[in-house]
Amino acid sequence: MASSPRTPDWVKHAVFYQIFPDRFARSERVPKATHLEPWDAPPTVHGYKGGDLLGVVERLDHLQSLGVTALYFNPIFQSGANHRYHTHDYFRVDPMLGGDAALRELLDAAHARGMKVVLDGVFNHASRGFLQFHDVLENGPASAYLDWWHIEGFPLGAYGEGDGALRYRAWWDLPALPKFDTDTPAAREYLLSVGEHWLRFGIDGWRLDVPNEIDDDEFWREFRRRCRAVNPEAYIVGELWTGAERWLQGDQFDAVMNYQVTKAVLGFVATEIDDAEVARCGYGAVPRLSAQAFQKAMGAELSRYHPEITQAQLNLVGSHDTPRALTVLGGDRSALRLAYALLFTLPGAPCVYYGDELGLAGGHDPACRQGMPWDATDAWDGETLRWLQDLAALRHAHPALRVGSAEVVYAHHGVIMLRRQLAGDDLLVVVNTDGEQGNHVALEGLGEGARERLLGEGEAHVAGGRVHARVPARRMGVFAL
């Protein structure tokens, strides 16, 4: 355990945007396969739409206008799947995405705009097409790479051969995803060298897929040491859906995808929850929360980790592994905007899932992975787009929202007040999820008079040393104290 964790300073000030490469944007500069799904057709489990990295380069103006300063990409390495979690070659960007040259152009273009780039690292498992596993398929017990995997016998059953029984360990027993044996020095070194290679190439960090399934703290400690030796400001964020104290002691990951905050935020702002969709993903359930329950949940989360870790958490309201937030919230756009308002004003780096800013809806995979509707501007949710732009601008303008102290100082009747403070920057965030509005008293010991509203709706003033705030139903306001 590190006595005082150190996380990359840039992360605390970042606004992230998650991109699913096959579905974000296509460039005519990247040659296309001939059998692609129509871009605007409903996505399927196996179909490709042909998005690529140069398409992202050509849409950086949109991302910059949104206030985005960091990009998180789902896997980009050569693969036999549209999501690319079935890696064929960890040292080669998929040609369908434009290859290594496209990544080079993307990194140069993003960095020129002050944007960081974080890639998805899938190190627990590879694919049947990965060379060292394919060698086992071809050569059986004589394979030179037998010890890279957890082989239990032959035939392997990789394609249902023999009696069909699977005789190697695979992620969730899916034959397409054989699990590495990271106790084998050669396999271990291969994966660690991947982490180093792409940091040398110029990426700014790694999001680690199911890292808890490499149940070996020393592997992750070495991964951190070697990545930080290449880039001392590299961000290492793990995909963990529950409490992550074991990995957030300052010697393994900087942060996790903060699904605990996700569930609390969604549960507080919702007028209804699509429980059937929620049950299909890693959430399991999203309990409805009163203002008091949200205050308790935030108190627990904000004190769970060292403040340095808390400020570097990757906060989100949805991802490629969940139904879109708008669908979880039963199509309630006011709830979606309140959810993002909390995301941008709580400690931790907010992350927008591609298309949420346009009001996209969609159930669990594959429905949440649709093509970005660039040509259907008449269907965009302009109010949500402007709202996210305003939230990002507010966060960039006020250091208290990025690295200040945070406390839910009031919680009653569907209303919470969140106070963010840093020397010379003192803000009050008022969120009203109730169907009514009224005067709400929270803080004492302040000077008299009206308070400037920085964003949103409503008013706040101090009388008798107490803050009185009025915010319309299903709205929020941010006030300078």
CB-based contact 144:137 (threshold 8 Å): no
Catalytic residue among 209, 254, 277, 357: 209
Query: Which among 22, 239, 308, 356 is annotated as catalytic?
Result: 239
Letter string b/e over residues 85-99, b meaning 16 or more CB atoms within 10 A of that residue's CB: bbbbebeebbebbbb
Q: Does 251 qualify as catalytic in the annotation?
A: no
Catalytic residue at 209? yes
d(CA 185, CA 187) in angstroms, rounded, equals 6
Whole-angstrom Cα distance, residue 55 to residue 81?
Answer: 19
Q: Which residues contact 271 (CB under 8 A, 6 or more apart)?
A: 329, 330, 332, 335
Give ∠ CA 411-412-416 in degrees, rounded to 5: 40
Are 369 and 356 a contacting pair, CB within 8 Å? no
C-beta separation of 246 from 217 below 8 A: yes
The catalytic site residues sit at 209, 239
